[in-house]
């Protein structure tokens, strides 16, 4: 099914014409949901029970075995426990229709649902109310619930299910070597670790989703590597990656993303033999996050080329534009550094938390592999604390901000201090559902409805299936 890429028209951002951006072809399943429903394998016919204390894992596996070539594995409305993870490999032209809610009951690691080595695949909720509840807080809290919490009889698992402090539980969904796919109209909540991973996938589309995790690192929203993937109209809350591209990756369009109290979007961490090209992020709204966007490496080799980051709007973020080739949170990788080349940052607006302590522009490139062709234009970000902002550049060549023109063998850190606020920044719009705090690690995160807006003034490309 062909994608629809819409244009954005607001009073704040430049009108963007309809484009295919960096995608190299069509994305999504090659056959319709209707055709896949010519054969339906309902998990209730394979031993499934609609109960939070049941184990829906084996019935999903059995239904998949019967419907993996041209059918639909159907999980009807209702609550389902899951203690045996479902590893679904092979088949083609099939769908997983989750209209119920899956609640994690088991305590193992791994991935609750993994799909691999398949094509023409769709994972969706026809009601837009399907969800996975990972109960990650039982791993992250590290203690039993306080006495004021519900008794164990009201939980889908005994209090002994709570794990020692510092543990991480299972990830929710992983796709590996999947082509011509889509994931949409789902809520992913409180993963033990990552929420959605796409590993070496291609020709896919992810949209109309909400992800909510605890206020802690290591709970990534969406991590992607592969080629020709479109991610749009997604909201993420956590304290780590919002929507992040990893290596190797090429030809991806990521737009209309709402990082609502998150770590923020990123690229990396990048190490040896990095191979990333033709990545386009646009219409990214970020509030109360670690960064609006970060490209991160430390040592390593290979390259990041021909990428565009445009129409970013943010408020109350620690970092803003942060290209950091000496990221202290990463171990040093083998090599002289990743080459960053022909990268454009265009039309960024909003505010950062403290423009001197953490300046809104940092372009810090490797000593032995200077960045070239870097462009920063239309950059209007001011500070919420103090009366100036600092831009910082190192070994970076191009135009705009504190970049040096041309090319060369590198240079030490240079800074530019801006003492005048850009005009109109105070009127930059905010989203009506901005959170004022992250979700605690000691109690369950409620399953939210999927929103119908993800960036100020932008209409989602597809309506929710559930209306």
SS (H, E, C) the chain: CCCCCCCCCCCCCCCCCCCCCCCCCCCCCCCCHHHHCCCEEEHHHHCCCCCCCCCCHHHHHHHHHHHCECCEEEECCCEEEECCCEEEECCEEEEEEECCEEEECCCCCCEEEEEEEEEEEEEECCCCCEEEECCCHHHHCCCCCCCCCCCHHHCCCCHHHCCCCCCCCCEEEEEEEEEEEEEEEEEEECCCCCCEEEEEEEEEEEEEEEEECCCCCCCCCEEEEEEEEEEEEEEEECCCEEEEEEEEEEEEEEEEEEEECCCEEEEEEECCCEEEEEEEEEEEEEECCCCCEEEEEEECCEEEEEEEEEEEEEEEECCCEEEECECCCCCCECCCCCEEEEEEEEEEEEEECCCCCCCCEEEECCCCCCEEEEEEEEEEEEECCCCCEEEEEECEEEECCCCECCCCCCCCCEEEEECCCCCCHHHCCCCCCCCCCCCCCCCCCCCCCCCCCCCCCCCCCCCCCCC
First-last CA distance in the chain: 20
Active site residues: 240, 315
Burial 11-35 (b: 16+ CB within 10 A, else e): ebbeebeeeebbbeeebbbebebee
User: How many other C-beta atoms can be found within 10 angstroms of the C-beta atom of residue 301?
Assistant: 19
Distances (CA, A) of 147 to 159, 351, 440, 445: 12, 41, 17, 18
Distance CA 74, CA 72 (A): 6
38: left (phi over 0), alpha (psi -120 to 50) or beta: alpha
Question: Counting beta carbons within 10 angstroms of the beta carbon of residue 103, is it exposed (0 to 12), middle (13 to 18) or buried (19 or more)?
Answer: buried
Distances (CA, A) of 247 to 250, 264, 284: 9, 18, 21
């Amino acid at each position: 099914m062909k994608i629809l890429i819409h244009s954005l028209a607001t009073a704040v951002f430049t009108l963007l014409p309809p484009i295919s951006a960096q995608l190299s072809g069509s994305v999504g399943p090659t056959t319709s949901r209707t055709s896949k429903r010519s054969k339906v394998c309902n998990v209730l016919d394979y031993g499934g029970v609609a109960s939070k204390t049941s184990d829906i894992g084996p019935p999903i596996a059995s239904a998949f075995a019967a419907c993996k070539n041209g059918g639909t594995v159907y999980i009807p409305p209702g609550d389902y426990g899951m203690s045996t993870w479902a590893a679904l490999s092979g088949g083609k032209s099939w769908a997983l229709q989750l209209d119920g809610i899956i609640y994690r009951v088991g305590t193992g690691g791994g991935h609750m649902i993994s799909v691999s080595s398949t094509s023409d695949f769709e994972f969706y909720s026809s009601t837009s109310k399907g969800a996975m509840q990972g109960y990650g807080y039982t791993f992250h809290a590290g203690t039993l619930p306080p006495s004021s919490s519900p008794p164990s009889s009201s939980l889908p698992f005994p209090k002994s299910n709570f794990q020692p402090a510092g543990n991480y539980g299972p990830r929710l969904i992983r796709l590996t070597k999947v082509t011509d796919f889509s994931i949409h109209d789902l809520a992913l909540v409180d993963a033990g670790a990552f929420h959605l991973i796409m590993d070496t996938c291609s020709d896919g589309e992810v949209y109309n989703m909400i992800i909510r995790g605890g206020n802690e690192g290591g709970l990534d929203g969406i991590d992607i590597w592969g080629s020709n993937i479109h991610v749009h109209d997604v909201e993420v809350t956590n304290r780590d990656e919002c929507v992040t591209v990893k290596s190797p990756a090429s030809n991806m369009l990521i737009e209309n993303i709402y990082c609502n109290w998150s770590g923020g979007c990123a690229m990396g961490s990048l190490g040896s033999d990095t191979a990333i090209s033709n990545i386009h992020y646009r219409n990214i709204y970020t509030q109360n996050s670690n960064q609006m966007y970060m490209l991160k490496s430390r040592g390593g080799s290979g390259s990041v080329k021909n990428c565009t980051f445009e129409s970013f709007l943010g408020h109350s973020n620690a970092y803003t534009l942060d290209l950091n080739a000496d990221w202290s949170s990463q171990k040093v990788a083998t090599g002289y550094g990743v080459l960053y080349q022909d990268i454009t940052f265009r039309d960024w607006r909003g505010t950062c938390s403290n423009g001197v302590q953490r300046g809104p522009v940092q372009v810090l490139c490797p000593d032995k592999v200077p960045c070239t062709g870097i462009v920063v234009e239309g950059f209007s970000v001011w500070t919420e604390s103090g009366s100036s902002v600092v831009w910082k550049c190192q070994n970076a060549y191009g135009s705009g901000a504190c970049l040096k023109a041309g090319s060369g063998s590198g240079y030490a850190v240079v800074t530019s201090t801006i003492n005048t606020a850009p005009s109109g920044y105070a009127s930059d719009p905010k989203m009506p559902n901005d959170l004022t705090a992250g979700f605690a690690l000691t109690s369950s995160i409620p399953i939210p409805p999927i929103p119908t807006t993800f960036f100020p003034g932008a209409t989602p490309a597809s309506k929710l299936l559930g209306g």
